[in-house]
Amino acid sequence: MALLSSATAAQAQTTRSDSAQKKGLSVKAAQALAKQKALEKKSKTYKLPLGELALFTQQIASLLTAGLPLVQCLEALQDQTEDACFRIVIRDVRAEISQGNSFSAAVKKFPRSFNTLFVSMVEAGEASGGLAEILMKVAGYFESTVKLTKKVKSAMTYPIAVIGLAIALVNVLLIFVIPVFAAMFADFGAKLPAPTQFLINLSNFMKKWWWAIGITVYGIYWTVGKFVATPNGRRAKDKFLVRAPIFGNLVHKIALSRFCRTYATLIRSGVPILRTLEIVSAASGKVQIEDACSEIAKHVSQGGQVSEVLASNEFFPPMMKHMVKAGESTGNVDGMMNKIADFYDVECEATVGALTSLIEPMLIVFLGVVVGGIVMAMFLPIFQLGAVAGGLQ
Instruction: Render 185-251 in DSSP notation, one character per residue.
Output: HHTT-SPPPHHHHHHHHHHHHHHHHHHHHHHHHHHHHHHHHHHHHSHHHHHHHHHHHHH-TTTHHHH
Does residue 45 lie within any of the structural domains? no
The DSSP result for 324-383, as a single string, is: HHHHHHHT-HHHHHHHHHHHHHHHHHHHHHHHHHHHHHHHHHHHHHHHHHHHHHHHHHHH
Does residue 342 lie within any of the structural domains? yes
- The answer to whether residues 77 and 60 touch, using CB atoms and an 8 Å cutoff, is yes
Does residue 132 lie within any of the structural domains? no
Same domain for 163 and 266, yes or no, is yes
CA-CA distance, 113 to 43, in Å (whole number)?
Answer: 9
Residue 393 in this model has a pLDDT that exceeds 60: no
pLDDT tens digits for range 319-377: 888 899 998 888 888 889 989 988 988 888 888 888 878 887 888 888 888 888 888 88
Tell me which amino acid residue 65 is: T
pLDDT tens digits for range 236-263: 998 998 888 878 888 899 889 889 988 9
pLDDT value of position 267: 87
Total structural domains within the chain = 2
CA-CA distance, 122 to 103, in Å (whole number)?
Answer: 7
pLDDT tens digits for range 46-84: 888 888 889 999 999 999 888 888 889 998 988 888 888
Does residue 137 lie within any of the structural domains? no
Q: Which of 35-39, 82-86, 206-210, 302-306 has the lowest mean pLDDT?
A: 35-39
Same domain for 362 and 282, yes or no, is yes
- Of 92, 114, 136, the residue that ends a domain is 114
pLDDT value of position 330: 87
pLDDT value of position 358: 81
- The answer to whether residues 266 and 120 touch, using CB atoms and an 8 Å cutoff, is yes
- Of 72, 94, 114, the residue that ends a domain is 114
Same domain for 54 and 156, yes or no, is no
For residue 392, name the pLDDT band (cuts at 50, 70, 90): very low
- The answer to whether residues 385 and 193 touch, using CB atoms and an 8 Å cutoff, is no
* pLDDT mean over 290-315: 89
Same domain for 84 and 185, yes or no, is no
User: What is the reported pTM?
Assistant: 0.76
pLDDT value of position 4: 44
pLDDT tens digits for range 9-33: 556 555 655 555 555 557 677 676 7
pLDDT tens digits for range 182-234: 888 777 666 778 888 888 888 888 888 888 888 998 999 999 989 988 989 98
pLDDT tens digits for range 99-134: 888 898 999 888 888 888 888 888 888 887 888 888
- Give the list of residues 6+ apart from residue 356 with CB closer than 8 angstroms, or none: 155, 158
CA-CA distance, 275 to 260, in Å (whole number)?
Answer: 15
pLDDT value of position 298: 92
CA-CA distance, 45 to 114, in Å (whole number)?
Answer: 11
Residue 390 in this model has a pLDDT that exceeds 60: no
Does residue 124 lie within any of the structural domains? no
Same domain for 60 and 154, yes or no, is no
Same domain for 223 and 347, yes or no, is yes
CATH number at residue 85: 1.20.81.30
Does residue 241 lie within any of the structural domains? yes
The domain of 73 spans: 50-114
Its sign, for the CA torsion 253, 256, 259, 264, is negative
Same domain for 160 and 80, yes or no, is no
CA-to-CA dists, residue 341 to 24, 32, 56, 260, 351, angstroms:
59, 48, 23, 5, 15
- Of 98, 114, 130, the residue that ends a domain is 114
Same domain for 100 and 187, yes or no, is no
Same domain for 215 and 318, yes or no, is yes
Q: How many Cβ atoms sit within 10 Å of the Cβ of residue 256?
A: 24
Residue 287 in this model has a pLDDT that exceeds 80: yes
∠ CA 121-123-127, nearest 5°, is 115
Same domain for 155 and 88, yes or no, is no
Does residue 135 lie within any of the structural domains? no
CA-CA distance, 340 to 350, in Å (whole number)?
Answer: 15
Q: Which of 22-36, 91-105, 299-313 has the lowest mean pLDDT?
A: 22-36
Same domain for 202 and 267, yes or no, is yes
Q: How many Cβ atoms sit within 10 Å of the Cβ of residue 61?
A: 22
Q: Please state the separation of Cα 298 from the chain's center in Å.
A: 32
- The answer to whether residues 363 and 163 touch, using CB atoms and an 8 Å cutoff, is yes
**What is residue 57's three-state secondary structure?**
helix
Tell me which amino acid residue 78 is: Q
Same domain for 283 and 368, yes or no, is yes
Does residue 81 lie within any of the structural domains? yes
